[in-house]
Amino acid sequence: MFHGTKSGVKVFDLAAVPAADLAKPLFVRDLCGHALAEFPPVEAWTLDGVIARLSDVQIRESVLEVGGGDAYLGTYWIGGTEV
């Protein structure tokens, strides 16, 4: 199951994400892997926290400008626009 965000990045449930990765930064990358944004964790990421960050107006504009994007917690892929 995936969850939509205002940026168009669809995020999978975080239950499968290793606990260590939940404490790593949230990265948004374009479809070629170039960094668009990085958000350091305040605490372990929750699904609501990830959705809120990915719904940010600036993220939405960046993802639209480059034609799509992917989200990662550390190096663990958690979703994208191509899902």
Domain that holds residue 65: 2-80
Whole-model pTM? 0.93
Answer yes or no: is pLDDT of 83 > 90: no
Other residues' Cβ atoms within 10 Å of the Cβ of residue 46:
11
Q: What pLDDT digit, counting tens, does each position of 20-74 carry?
A: 999 999 999 999 999 999 999 989 999 999 999 999 999 999 999 999 999 999 9
How many structural domains compose the chain?
1
> What does each C-alpha distance from 70 to 32, 33 come to in angstroms?
9, 8
